[in-house]
């Protein structure tokens, strides 16, 4: 392999790693990226400029108390192709065909069957633990395995945020909104009746992630 090819492969690998990092942490500046990758600011800017030319990243300027505004870099929708998608064009075609054949009521019945199977799968994976944090960690594991890039964060008020940074069924969910409605029901069921689940950010509504606030019902504020 030539030296130029090796250098090109290294740049491609670094840019893919930057894409992954921006998916994990939307709104990163050059300083944060430089620290994460142990690269100079100039090197990071070169990679970001190349990704911007490909239409994969963009930025917003954020005002700072002192000095010039800072560029916060984020992925564009075009970068979704680097992350798993659970539904092909054939699946989307089947969704439209089923809606046409069975109508809304028929689709609801099909989604109910799907939801029941997912409940059984998740409950088996989560096990018997009654500790909400442990149940959420298990849920995050199984959802991450399915491509949702899920994680848990704790808020100052004691509530927990269940965050899914990628939606592998986004196109299908846009075509069949019942998928997202059933997702809320699924989380309610597998986390337990004593837990309140509220969606506070939604990818299909323009959010960067799908975010759910999880609270024990006795602690809800």
Sign of the C-alpha dihedral, residues 174, 101, 146, 114? Answer: positive
Query: How many alpha carbons fall within 13 Å on the CB side of residue 52?
Result: 13
pLDDT of residue 5: 58
User: What confidence tier does 43 reach under pLDDT thresholds 50, 70, 90?
Assistant: very high
Give the whole-angstrom CA distance, residue 114 versus residue 128.
Answer: 23
pLDDT of residue 219: 57
36 Cβ neighbours under 8 A, 6+ residues apart: 21, 28
pLDDT of residue 78: 79
Chain-wide mean pLDDT for the chain? Answer: 85
Provide CATH 1.10.10.10 ranges for the chain: 3-82
* Between 8 and 90, residue with greater pLDDT: 8
User: What confidence tier does 86 reach under pLDDT thresholds 50, 70, 90?
Assistant: low
User: What confidence tier does 119 reach under pLDDT thresholds 50, 70, 90?
Assistant: very high
Give the whole-angstrom CA distance, residue 149 versus residue 95.
Answer: 25
Most confident of 93-107, 138-152, 170-184: 138-152
Tell me the backbone φ, ψ of residue 198, rounded to 5 degrees: -130, 125
Give the whole-angstrom CA distance, residue 22 versus residue 27.
Answer: 7
59 with 73: CB under 8 angstroms?
Answer: yes
Report how many helices (DSSP H) and strands (DSSP E) the chain contains, helices first: 7, 6
Written out in words, the top-level CATH class of the domain with range 3-82 is mainly alpha
pLDDT of residue 151: 93
Cα torsion through 208, 214, 220, 221, rounded to 10: -20
Provide CATH 3.30.1380 ranges for the chain: 89-219
pLDDT at position 67 over 80: no
56 burial via Cβ count (<10 Å: 0-12, 13-18, 19+): buried
pLDDT at position 76 over 60: yes
pLDDT of residue 142: 92
User: Within its chain, how far is the Cα of 49 from the centroid?
Assistant: 24
**Whether domain 89-219 has CATH 3.30.1380:** yes
pLDDT, tens digit, for every residue of 147-189? 888 999 998 888 899 999 888 888 777 777 788 888 888 999 9
Mean pLDDT of 65-81: 85
């Amino acid at each position: 392999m030539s030296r130029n090819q090796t250098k090109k492969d290294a740049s491609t690998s670094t840019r893919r790693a930057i894409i992954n990092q921006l998916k994990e942490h939307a709104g990163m500046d050059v300083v944060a990226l430089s620290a994460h990758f142990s690269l100079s600011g100039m090197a990071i800017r070169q990679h970001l400029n190349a990704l911007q030319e490909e239409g994969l990243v963009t930025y917003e300027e954020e005002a700072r108390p002192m000095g010039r505004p800072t560029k916060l870099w984020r992925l564009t929708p075009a970068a979704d192709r680097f992350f798993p998608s659970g539904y092909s064009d054939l699946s989307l075609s089947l969704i439209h065909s089923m809606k046409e054949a069975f109508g809304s009521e028929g689709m609801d019945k099909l989604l109910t069957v799907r939801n029941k199977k997912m409940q059984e799968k998740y409950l088996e994976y989560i096990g018997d633990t009654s500790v909400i944090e442990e149940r959420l960690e298990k849920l995050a594991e199984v959802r991450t395995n399915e491509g949702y890039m899920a994680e848990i964060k704790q808020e100052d008020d004691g509530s927990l945020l269940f965050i899914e940074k990628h939606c592998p069924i986004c196109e299908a969910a846009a075509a069949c909104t019942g998928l997202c409605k059933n997702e809320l029901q699924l989380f309610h069921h597998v986390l337990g009746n004593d837990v309140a689940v509220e969606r506070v950010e939604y990818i299909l509504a323009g959010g960067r992630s799908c975010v759910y606030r999880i609270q024990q019902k006795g602690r809800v504020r």
